[in-house]
Amino acid sequence: MKPISATEAVAAIEAGTLTSEALVRSCLERIAERDPVVKAWVYLHPENAVKQAKAADAAKGGLLRGVPIAVKDIIDTYDMPTGHNSPIFEGKVPFGDAACVALCRTANAVIMGKTVTTEFANRHAGPTTNPHNPSHSPGGSSSGSAAAVADGHVPLGFGTQTGGSVIRPAAYCGVIGYKPTYGDFSRVGIKMQCHSVDTLGLMARTMPDIALFRGAVLKLPPVPINQDLAAPRIGFCRTPIWGDASADTQALLEATAKKLSAKGASVVDVEFAPEFADILADHGAITGFESFRNYADERLRNPGKLSPEITAVLKRGGAVTLERYVAAQRKSVAFKAHIDSMFDNVDVLLTPSAPGEAPEGLLETGDPRFNSIWTLSGNPCVTLPAGTGAKGLPLGVQLVGLRHDDERILSIAAWVAARL
Q: Please, what is the Cα angle at 331 between 356 and 343, to 5 degrees?
A: 65
Note whether 329 binds its own copies by CB under 8 A: yes
Rounded Cα distance between 23 and 67, Å, is 8
99 interacts with its own copies by CB under 8 A: yes
Can residue 146 be called a binding residue for its own copies (CB under 8 A)?
no
Sheet holding 41-44, edge to edge: 41-44, 110-115, 68-72, 156-161, 199-204, 176-179, 381-388, 394-400, 348-352, 233-237, 266-270
The contact mask relative to its own copies for 205-224 (x = CB under 8 A, - = no) is: -------------xxx----
Please tell me whether residue 98 binds its own copies under the rule CB under 8 A.
yes
Among 219, 221, 253, CA closest to 237: 253
Catalytic site includes residue 263 = no
Cα distance between residue 327 and residue 279, in whole Å = 11
Exactly one of 102, 260, 342, 416 binds its own copies (CB under 8 A); which one?
102
Of 43, 213, 236, 292, the one binding its own copies by CB under 8 A: 292
How many positions of this chain bind its own copies (CB under 8 A)?
A: 44
Residue 285, interface with its own copies (CB under 8 A)? no
330 binds its own copies (CB under 8 A): yes
Query: Under the criterion CB under 8 A, does residue 158 sit at the interface with its own copies?
Result: no
**Is position 307 annotated as part of the catalytic site?**
no
Q: Which of 85, 294, 353, 383 binds its own copies (CB under 8 A)?
A: 294
Tell me which amino acid residue 329 is.
Q
Nearer to its own copies, 97 or 151 (CB): 97
* 196 counts as binding its own copies under rule CB under 8 A: yes
Is residue 350 within 8 A of residue 386, CB to CB? The reply is no
Range in contact with its own copies (rule: CB under 8 A) among 54-62, 188-196, 247-255, 257-265: 188-196
Shortest Å distance, C-beta 296 to its own copies: 4
Which residue in the list 141, 332, 353, 372 is annotated as catalytic? 141
If binding is defined by CB under 8 A, does position 151 make contact with its own copies? Answer: no
**Angle ∠(351,168,9) on CA atoms, nearest 5:** 105
Q: For the CB of residue 232, give the shortest distance to its own copies in the complex, in Å.
A: 21
Please identify, using beta-carbon distances, which residue of 197 and 417 lies nearer to its own copies: 197
Least distance to its own copies from the beta carbon of 110, Å? 15
Burial of 337 (0-12, 13-18, 19+ CB in 10 A): exposed
Asked whether position 187 contacts its own copies by CB under 8 A, the answer is: yes
Residue 96 sits in the site that holds its own copies (CB under 8 A): yes
Residue 246 is among the residues annotated as catalytic for this protein: no
Nearer to its own copies, 5 or 108 (CB): 108
CB–CB of 369/396 below 8 Å?
Answer: no
Footprint on this chain of its own copies (rule: CB under 8 A): 78, 88-89, 92, 95-103, 105-106, 183-184, 186-189, 192, 195-196, 218-220, 290, 292-301, 318, 322, 326, 329-330, 404
Which residues carry out catalysis? 72, 141, 165
